[in-house]
Amino acid sequence: MPRRRLKRLRIDGPSPTIRLRLTVLYGLVFLVTGAVLLTIGYLLVRSNISAHHQFRQNLFRQLGYTPPAGGAFGLGANSAATHIAHDVQAQITSDALHRLVIEYLLALGVMTMIAVGTGWWLAGRALRPLREITATARRVSGENLGERIALSGPADELKELADTFDGMLGRLDSAFASQRHFVANSSHELRTPLAIMRTEVDVTLADSDASREELRAMGEAVRETVDRCERLIESLLMLARSEAQGGREQPVDMASLAGDCITDLHARAEQAGVSIRTELEPAWTRGDPALLERMIANLIDNGIRHNEPGGQLSVRTERDHSSVRLIVANGGPVIDAAEAQRLLEPFRRLHRSVEGFGLGLSIVKSVVDAHHGTIEVIAPSEGGLELRITLSADATVGAPLSAAVLTQS
């Protein structure tokens, strides 16, 4: 006959809580330590009884007292009464030790029950902050990131956990707010050129007698708007790439990248009437060359675009033993210090009339963050803007060389 395979039924019950596990652990520890302590006490009591009986016999022997006929109470040592007396003494000792064991076990059982109850209460009291953290985590959602645990009490591990969780919620709240702001601005920037193209096409199609020149003008307007959309999408992709920088690093000389970018933008600077002064000291770091080059190009382009006619643009690199710095300063109107700090946010522009989307400096900040660097925005009192970027120096490259000064106009 074929052997039947019996299916094993598995019943999944609720898993034990950490409070129950801690209580069981408290009870077991108390039970084991109590049993060991009572066992030691029992052995000491039994040993003391035997030692007391032996001490009494030795004392009689030292005093020279010997019962008549060598027995107790004047009886012979081998008499029946002497044996009965010894048996009675042994029985009394045995009964006393037996009662002591029973009393010890009863006391151990009662105290273990008390310890289990106390452990349950203490575990619940100790885990109360965890329940608050869990309840807050369940209430928090993408639309309710402003809630905090704000746990009070001593600065222990649970307080540190709650503060860490509050800090994480704060960072998530800022990230979600920035994302919503970014999506809203992106939608606005993309909707504007689409509306322009639709308007151009609708106006042209509504005119049945449109001439060839009008159709050509409509096509050029649509082409210009498409180019604007492409530049915007390219900037958004670069911003997303810089934020998702993974760790593909290699030695990069910031001075060399800055020199290449200045060469590429030299014609544009001449057209805008901006003279560029460079002090490029070899500054080796580790990072993604493409992202770092785009960062420097954005800084220089921003310095040219927002400069004044006949203004100055300074590009300087320097290095010490642990870090490298890129400093780009341009002339221009006086900027409020608080407004200058907000220029690092996406789609933030001082003047809407200036060409661009307001993504240049936000891309710079993302590249700096991806390379674990810092960026400092300074608004000098005489006008213009100065940006200082600090990155870690590449330790595999030797000490910096002397600075090279180059002036371009």
Averaged pLDDT in 10-residue chunks for the chain of 409 residues: 47 67 87 89 80 58 50 51 66 80 88 89 84 81 74 79 85 76 69 80 82 85 82 72 65 92 88 89 88 88 85 91 91 81 73 62 83 88 88 73 41
88, 218: one domain: no
Residues 98 and 214 in one domain: no
328 lies in the same domain as 237: no
**Helix H or strand E segment including 318:** strand 312-319
- What separation in angstroms does the CA of 264 have from each of 16, 237, 250, 258? 68, 22, 23, 10
Q: What pLDDT score was predicted for residue 63?
A: 53
User: In this structure, is residue 158 part of a structural domain?
Assistant: no
Position 289 in a domain:
yes
**Predicted local confidence at residue 11, as pLDDT:** 45
**pLDDT single digits (tens) 343-398:** 877 666 666 555 666 677 878 888 888 888 999 988 888 888 899 999 998 877 65
The pLDDT value recorded for residue 133 is: 81
Report the pLDDT value the prediction gives residue 196, as an integer from 0 to 100.
79
Say what the pLDDT of residue 52 is: 65
CB 105 within 8 A of CB 41: no
What pLDDT does 69 receive?
45
Structure confidence at residue 409 (pLDDT): 38
Number of domains in the chain: 3
The total of other beta-carbon atoms located within 10 Å of residue 362's CB is 22
Residues 398, 365 within the same domain: yes
Q: What is the pLDDT of residue 6?
A: 45
Q: Are residues 371 and 287 in the same domain?
A: yes
3-state helix, strand, coil in the chain (%, to 5): 60, 10, 30
Q: Cβ of 282: how many Cβ atoms within 10 Å? A: 20
pTM listed for this prediction:
0.53
* Structure confidence at residue 357 (pLDDT): 63
Using the 3D structure, point to which of 242, 258, 293 is the last residue of a domain: 242
Q: Same domain, yes or no, for 391 and 265?
A: yes
Q: Look up residue 188 and give its two tokens.
A: 């606005």
pLDDT for res 61:
54
Q: Which of 254, 237, 261, 233 is nearest to 371 (CA)?
A: 254
Residues 273 and 398 in one domain: yes
Question: Is residue 134 situated within a structural domain?
Answer: no
Q: Buried b / exposed e across 143-177, counting CB within 10 Å, b at 16+?
A: eebeebbebeeeeeebeeebeebbeebeeebeeee
Q: Is residue 135 part of a domain?
A: no
- Pick from 242, 271, 290: which residue ends a domain? 242
For 132-261, list the strands marked E by DSSP: 250-253
In this structure, the answer to whether residues 201 and 286 fall within a common structural domain is no
Dist CA 193 CA 188 (whole Å): 9
Task: Evaluate whether 221 touches 196 at the Cβ level (below 8 Å).
Answer: yes
Q: Do 29 and 122 sit in the same domain of this protein? A: yes
List Cβ neighbours of 243 (8 Å cut-off, separation of 6 or more). Answer: 366, 369, 370
CATH of the domain at 189: 1.10.287.130
Q: What is the pLDDT of residues 152-191, one digit of tens each?
A: 777 778 788 888 888 888 888 877 776 776 676 667 667 7
Verify that 231 and 278 share a domain, yes or no: no
Q: Which residues contact 104 (CB under 8 A, 6 or more apart)?
A: 38, 41, 42
Residue where a domain stops, chosen among 242, 258, 291: 242
- Whole-angstrom CA distances from 254 to 7, 278, 279, 289 are 69, 12, 12, 9
CATH number for the domain including 370?
3.30.565.10
User: Is 331 found in the same domain as 299?
Assistant: yes
- Where in the sequence is the domain holding 192, given as residue range(s)? 177-242
pLDDT of residue 53: 60
295, 341: one domain = yes
DSSP symbol at 395? T
In a domain, 232, yes or no: yes
